[in-house]
Chain A
Amino acid sequence: MGRTLAQKIWDSHVVHSADGEPDLLYIDLHLVHEVTSPQAFDGLRLAGRGVRRPDLTVATEDHNVPTIGVTGPDLPLRGPGSPVTDPVSQVQVEALRKNCAEFGIELHPMGDAGQGIVHVIGPQQGLTLPGMTIVCGDSHTSTHGAFGALAFGIGTSEVEHVLATQTLPQARPANMAVTVTGRLPYGVTAKDLILAVIAQIGTGGGTGHVIEYRGEAIRDLSMEGRMTVCNMSIEAGARAGLVAPDETTFGYLHGRPRAPQGASWDAALDYWRTLPTDPGAAFDREVTVDAATLTPFVTWGTNPGQAAPLDSAVPDPAGLADPTARASAERALAYMDLTPGTKLTQISVDTVFVGSCTNGRLEDLRAAAEVLRGRTVATGVRMLVVPGSMEVKAAAEREGLAEVFTAAGAEWRSAGCSMCLGMNSDKLAAGQRSASTSNRNFEGRQGKGARTHLVSPRVAAATAVTGTLTAPADL
């Protein structure tokens, strides 16, 4: 019987296997950031252990760093010249710097040209390649699956385990196929697609599974779009999401600084072409979505599965048969201050955020800029545009996107996780409402008491123009 893409990668990384035990998997790349690593490094020191493969480990500062006032590299972390105003954030970033220096790990600090969100810098450098195993102490590590890599988020104890051994004991996951047939209508994006998938299968639909995204609509996506889709696999409960590598993948990777070159490239390419799922390989679960039926999608509730087409209305929880789902929807509407039956396009926002590891890449900024060009941000609306990496920032400035944003009245920032989560100075106040291109609309995610609607970059830009949730086609 044939094997799936995920099974092939798994099999080629088993270091040790025994009946009744999890497999011990080799990890090809370990990405590290400041929030989930300090206790792991402390654990190593306490046990007198080192980092087995610092050369397979790359660190960046992203969750805590401010996106304003970062004027260049080598800024002080403390004192009057520091853009980091929170002393607790200073300590956390400082801990990462000390740990990387002590254990010899490559670090991209705040202000560095290579700095950015951990899931944006790996692909842009060509560190993320098909057939690899990639982990990071961050649930959105699933992003890297867009390249046909097996990539998943881990906790801090597992971070310590990978630092010490470059391996991880893992139980074999089940395989799920999400097949998106047909073509996405004009103006419907990867973000709309994945929000629709999560709404269909639920926040726990992928639990225990690795999702492989397949079908014409997935093949048609750019690498950026595939990253958006794989990024949100975890919001459907799946630790990893993958897309089989193809010419789009190879075209994106060719010539990237850390990607193989010359004969090495040819050898890699030969191998990568063997990775796609064999015909006849069995999936434990299969879901099909018709791309042609999709329209711009937004969330109305407090988890990413509580989403609906933008041209519909806030649903009535009374219509839900499952009591837990009904209670959850009632609670969500109370938190979101929404009434059933309200048209989603009538919901006003005071903040629009474009950025994050979901939608902070160049293509996302181009999509938002295309809608915003020649228009202005509505009075009373604050729009933040935050590139996912310093390289994305530089590229967006070179091609004039930054000017489009600032001319429209948006704030153009430097790279970081920013308003995706309330760990840095970019936050919403209690009661404020945002349209956000990020990945989580959980209660308090963007600040205590804040309300979040997840949207695509195009919908975010159109919403900034009108001040209510809006599809670009309605401008």
Chain B
Amino acid sequence: MESFTSLTGRAVSLRRGQVDTDQIIPAEYLKRVSRSGFGDGLFAAWRADPGFVLNQPYAEGAEILIAGPDFGIGSSREHAVWALLDYGFKVVISASFGDIFRNNSVQAGLIAVRLPAATVTALADAVEADPGTAVTVDLADREVRTSQRAGGPAGLRAPIEIDDYTRWRLMEGLDDISLTLRNSEEIARYEQFRPEWMPVAG
């Protein structure tokens, strides 16, 4: 997993709430057995509409997605995170995320930034008013900010809600499995005392 400290880039606004992972990547795209190649499936049904935000020229090269509340609800498919990353997004900003989607994002290195709903709306307004707005997502400083453009509205600054542990993992690009394997002795000790009625397969 790639480490992440800070990113300054362009953002697109998807003003829809409750975007479920079936919309992010429909089931028919889940049959691949590899971890890559899911970008084509991203928002597949919506992208068929020429008016969809990702089909607009200004969306090209955007690395930050600003979405409505409850983003990534529904199915546990990590393919939704892989599809966003494959397409070129590095950050998704929303007022709330589905729990499994958020866990998957941390695993795969997609930065899921939670901000208060009013801040998300203000960001979306700024980006829609001027698609060239540079948005900075900074884990080191724990903030999202936009800079003021000539003649434009004042820049915006908002603190990122993130726990220290998750922030550290993302900034170091650490793999959970190697961290857990440091506790192998404790796992083995726990296993000695599991109740004998616990079922086994095979």
Contacts and interface: CB of A to CB of B under 8 A. Distances in A.
B25 to A, nearest CB: 11
Interface string B16-58: 1110101100111011111100000000010000000000000
A181 interface: no
Contacts of A55: 200-202
A204 B45 contact: no
A412 interface: no
Contacts of B198: 28, 129, 132
A268 interface: yes
Contacts of B194: 26, 28
Interface stretch (A35-43, A347-355, A466-474): A35-43
A64 B30 CA distance: 10
B141 interface: no
B22 A445 contact: yes
Interface stretch (A85-93, A364-372, A374-382): A85-93
Interface string A223-241: 0000000000011011100
A38 B78 contact: no
B22 A443 contact: yes
A260 B199 contact: yes
Nearest to A163: B177
Given A129-B199, A139-B100, A155-B104, A237 B16 contact: no
B150 interface: no
A423 interface: yes
Contacts of A152: 100
Contacts of B197: 129, 260, 264-265, 267-268, 271
Contacts of A36: 76-78
B62 interface: no
Interface in A309-365: 324-325, 327-328, 331
B74 A442 contact: yes
Contacts of B81: 155
Interface residues of A, number: 88
Interface in A29-69: 29, 35-36, 38-39, 42, 47, 49, 52, 54-58, 63-64
A55 to B, nearest CB: 5
B17 A324 contact: yes
A132 B176 CA distance: 23
Interface string A403-445: 0000000000000000001110000000000000000101111
Interface string B153-187: 00000000001110000000000110111011011
With a 10 A CB-CB cut-off, give which of B108, B197, B199 has the most chain A CB atoms. B199
Nearest to A268: B197
Contact of B195 (A38, A139, A267): A267
A324 B68 contact: yes
Given A139-B100, A157-B107, A444-B22, A258 B33 contact: no
Interface string B66-100: 00111001111111010000000000000011111
Given A129-B199, A421-B27, A422-B26, A167 B108 contact: no
A15 interface: yes
A15 B192 CA distance: 12
Contacts of B195: 267-268, 271
A307 to B, nearest CB: 13
Given A207-B98, A328-B18, A139 B76 contact: yes
Contact of A169 (B28, B69, B75, B176): B176
A160 B180 CA distance: 12
Contacts of B8: none
A39 B76 contact: no
B21 to A, nearest CB: 9
B176 A423 contact: no
A152 B75 CA distance: 12
Contact of A91 (B33, B73, B96, B165): B33
Given A36-B76, A440-B74, A127 B165 contact: no
A277 interface: no
20 contacts: A16-B183, A49-B177, A54-B201, A54-B202, A56-B200, A63-B27, A64-B31, A86-B31, A126-B199, A139-B100, A155-B77, A155-B78, A155-B104, A165-B177, A204-B70, A207-B98, A264-B197, A421-B75, A440-B75, A448-B28
CB-CB nearest 5 A-B residue pairs: A157-B107, A155-B78, A155-B104, A38-B33, A260-B197
Given A24-B183, A127-B201, A444-B45, 17 more contacts: A20-B163, A24-B187, A28-B194, A39-B34, A56-B200, A56-B201, A129-B197, A152-B100, A155-B78, A156-B104, A166-B191, A207-B96, A264-B196, A328-B18, A331-B16, A423-B28, A445-B27
Interface of B: 15-18, 20, 22-23, 26-28, 30-35, 45, 68-70, 73-79, 81, 96-100, 103-104, 107-108, 163-165, 176-177, 179-181, 183-184, 186-187, 190-191, 194-202
